[in-house]
Structure 1
Amino acid sequence: MARRALTTTAAAFATAAALLLTACGGGDDSASDDIKGAGDSSPSPAASKSSAAPGVKRPVIKLPSSFQLTFENWTSSAPGGQAALDDAKEEVRAGYAAIIANDPDSEAVTFYDTKGIRGLTKEWIKSYTDKDLTVIGKLPAFDPKLVMAENGKGASLTYCTDETDAKTRNRKTGKVEGNPAGTNPYVRYSVSLAKSEQGVWQNSSVRGERGKCSR
């Protein structure tokens, strides 16, 4: 279920340079097209609201019980850090919810991605939906490390996922598949976050590297 590596936009480069943050951009395509999509059972409760920008109406994102996307120890005591982590989690949830709903044009994804990478996120979603794939199983996201910019308008985030129990299911045939034998199930993501004028933390770049994490 590794996310397609997304190319950093020029704006993301500028942001990273200004903030002296290194975890941004480009990508290792070896970490991109493995497992995707999810089942069609009844949805779980909506996500908890972000602690940031309380006046902003955030999209309601639901995931089915057949796909358990969990976030372990996603907490921060840094000023503004919890808000950034909360929105970063919702961006991840929005992407998989779009795969499950067969909706590459998801409004929730648009909400949590900057304009520069929305098209690339759509390509990642379509790499599942175009093949009639959805995701099932379990995908824990763990070991988040967040660095906030001094000006409070940007952040760098890394985290890991464990794809051991994550699988794809073909919507038409019902065939279930996991990663190919011998594939390292751990993927580390490096994300650049930018705070919008409305106070929403959005992904401005994502990079996935397989085999760079462990439990």
Structure 2
Amino acid sequence: MSILACLNDRAAFCGEAAGTGVKGSKHDLNMYSAQQDAQERICVYCHVPHHAEVGTTLTPPALWAGTQNKSFIPYVSPTFDAVIEDLVVGPTKICLSCHDGVIASDTHPNLKSDLFGGTGVGIGSNLGNDHPIGFNYLKIVQEKPNDYKPPNELWQDGNGTTTVASGLFEGKYVTCATCHDMHNTKNVSDANNSYNYFVYSRQKDSSLCRSCHRK
């Protein structure tokens, strides 16, 4: 189905369903961008085959098209048990290249919103109202096994094959990509057959949260 057909028929919105790939998903920025790629490429908004940005701390390099080096305010709470070692470690720095509400490769207006349901999660360089990232999950599991589940367990209501550990950067750090499958390949749908923010487990009954937290 062509991009135009997808736009004209929301019911057949290409990759709308979970696990159907990045084409036609909300990360297919040709669907939304005011400046669509002339060759209708999808990956080029985030990845480039040549002249990639260096120093993204990703291993192996993701041929990233661009990053930013802003500092962010971390999550702080008296009930937060872990220590944030590197707030923007791994893929988080890449995610915040667009989701900081300032730098948006697709110039989508919703990126400017940090309200509930918005996608600008780092507006004002503030990550203090978002789930903590950049901490070592293995440490917190070891210190408080009665509160947190081991990462080798499957996502509670996921696709039946993906573990929490598979999304930990360097096998230990919680990042944006720990919960979100940006390529829409291993995530699952909700009751409305939506990929629901690209998450690995369904939101119903807070299965996503309870895949790590013992509550």
TM over 0.5: no
Higher relative CO (Cα under 8 Å, sequence separation at least 6) belongs to 1
Q: TM-score, normalised by structure 1?
A: 0.29
Structure with the greater alpha carbon radius of gyration: 2
